[in-house]
Structure 1
């Protein structure tokens, strides 16, 4: 890990994104979007689906409307959903370091929540299939809020469910949209980029950017080790 500023406090809670951060699902999702669009004869610009990483359904629809009509979007969503469900029934691979990080937080009694753009009941199914659901005290999804990421609503709702001040929460994200949501919620954000790397406008937010969840764990250890 390159030199990253130490955390300013021991977090009262840690709030996790799901796809791309804990579960290695974004590659599967993009593959399903590509396969479904190809099967329908829909041609989209190279790298188009990367723009959708971390966004809720409505924002994905707005992007697609720039290229195809509403009726085809509905069919594309349905076809992609079927492909994705078939590929995720048995669970998806976990991102490196997630279990070690969750075990550390559990050992030290730090409350944990999920804040994901995935809707229910899919979010709980994915967490359960991946063995992660028992680690969390709350799961907040885009089904629970009016405005999905990059709005702060999901993170604020997660903090509320844990009974914690957002300013005392640590938020972990991989995507630009999710990182913006966490920062807008007033949380200390750490980004662990997966498929989409931060550009200059995102870096201007001043949040911490690390290479892996192992690096996040290393930032937390000094605070947790010093705790009574």
Structure 2
């Protein structure tokens, strides 16, 4: 039997929501506005990176200087415009739905307007007690700050939280926060998530 944690903390993009194509399209448009090209392989190799960090990595690799502030603004605006195309990630969204009134949060390296629009499009926004984003903390994952803030807002100690993630940065942040974590890219993690979903669903039926 899977041990039921006191609280769940979900990443958004790639974990709760399938948004990789959405964000690539938003970044592509923002880069194109400055006559620059973002390669798909470069973008996908850096999944989970915060927006500014990804842009800075691109400039370091290509040697080109761009207006970072404009790129951030433009890519956020495009992502908000495209948020309606977001779709829930079925196994993780099923757990969020089954979790019910138990404490839960979202902690994402995205900015609040994009994250909230994405969750709303997926029909998941109202499930969570709190949504923590890069807007709320000084540093993105792998810094543990947003996970720790989510636990504080939920009134649960970090050791009693379970994190669902899909990136190396997110997994590192969870471990640094002293939280157990499952990487939803791993088949074993998905099996554990399915078992936990069934367990909490059965508890509700009883």
| 8 Å CA contact 2:182, 2:189 repeated in 1 | no
Decide which of 65, 72, 76 is 1:69's aligned counterpart.
65
Give the CA deviation at 1:45: 5.7
| 8 Å CA contact 1:174, 1:191 repeated in 2 | yes
Q: Deviations over 1:117-169 (max 9, x none)?
A: 11123322222232111100111111111121011111111011101111111
Whether 2:95 is the aligned partner of 1:101: answer yes
Residues 46 and 114 (structure 1), Cα distance of their counterparts in 2 relative to 1, 3 Å cut = closer
Could you say which residue in structure 2 is the equivalent of 1:167? 159
Give the CA deviation at 1:104: 1.8
Could you say which residue in structure 2 is the equivalent of 1:53? 47
- Long gaps (5+) in structure 2: none
Decide which of 117, 128, 138 is 1:146's aligned counterpart.
138
| 8 Å CA contact 2:107, 2:131 repeated in 1 | yes
- Long gaps (5+) in structure 1: 1-5, 194-208
Q: Distance in 2 between matches of 1:93 and 1:61?
A: 25
Q: Distance in 1 between matches of 2:49 and 2:138?
A: 14
Deviates more, 1:216-225 or 1:140-149: 216-225
Give the CA deviation at 1:36: 3.7
TM-score by length of 1: 0.76
Whether 2:193 is the aligned partner of 1:216: answer yes
Could you say which residue in structure 2 is the equivalent of 1:133? 125
TM-score by length of 2: 0.84
Counting helix residues as a fraction of each chain, which structure ranks higher? 2
Q: Distance in 1 between matches of 2:85 and 2:40?
A: 28
Q: Distance in 2 between matches of 1:48 and 1:87?
A: 21
Deviates more, 1:158-167 or 1:73-82: 73-82
Decide which of 13, 18, 22 is 1:19's aligned counterpart.
13
Taking only aligned residues, the RMSD between alpha carbons, in angstroms, comes to 2.7
Whether 2:35 is the aligned partner of 1:41: answer yes
Give the CA deviation at 1:55: 1.9
Q: Deviations over 1:70-108 (max 9, x none)?
A: 42x3343344334322222x35111122342123211xx
Could you say which residue in structure 2 is the equivalent of 1:87? 82
Q: Distance in 1 between matches of 2:53 and 2:181?
A: 22
Q: Deviations over 1:174-213 (max 9, x none)?
A: 11111111111111100012xxxxxxxxxxxxxxx33675
| Paired positions, count | 203
Could you say which residue in structure 2 is the equivalent of 1:196? none
| 8 Å CA contact 2:24, 2:40 repeated in 1 | no
Could you say which residue in structure 1 is the equivalent of 2:24? 30
